[in-house]
Amino acid sequence: MDLLKINAGSRYIKGKELLIYGSCVKQEHPKVFEKFSENKTALSLCLEKEHINMAAYKIASMLKLYNPPKEITVLTVDGSPHCIQLHYAIDEAKKLTSSDIKVEHFVITDRKAIQVSSEAVKLSRYLGKLEKRIKG
């Protein structure tokens, strides 16, 4: 299902575990997608095609309803300048809604999914801070 085309209050969202993934994941990494989508409502989005603000607003709407999703897993391709924005959109929606929903971030690298901390996602938004850490 397309993230931007589903109703924010849909029965497929309320109280469910969501997988929000970059659209190319399903075709490019079908085995990883299959594993991650098991028992979850899978919602796709391509931020090369859509603006990050649309994604963040939609996710914030989902989190603010009376019966939001149970948890969210984000799965994207590592290194994509568009896919990384999906991780940012989730974190921005959480911040805007003061939600404490559990979110797990994963990126696919070398045909395997690896978990990425929320701290890493946040730090990647601040190149100055990242550069200071690199230089020590």
> Residue 46: which CATH number?
3.40.50
Q: Which percentage of the chain shows pLDDT scores above 90? A: 95
Say if 5 falls within a structural domain: no
Task: Indicate the pLDDT class of residue 95, thresholds 50, 70 and 90.
Answer: very high
Domain that holds residue 90: 17-135
| Burial (CB count <10 Å: 0-12, 13-18, 19+), residue 127 | exposed
Across residues 74-98, what is the average pLDDT?
A: 96
Residue 108 lies in a domain: yes
Least confident of 43-47, 82-86, 102-106, 128-132: 128-132
pLDDT > 70: percent of the chain = 99
The pLDDT mean for the chain works out to 95
Q: How far apart are CA 1 and CA 41, in angstroms?
A: 8
Q: Is there a domain that residue 112 lies in?
A: yes
Task: Identify the DSSP state of 104.
Answer: E
- Is 12 inside any structural domain? no
Measure the CA–CA gap between 33 and 9, rounded to whole angstroms.
Answer: 24
pLDDT value, residue 136: 84
Number of domains composing the chain? 1
Q: Rounded to whole angstroms, how far apart are CA atoms 69 and 101?
A: 8
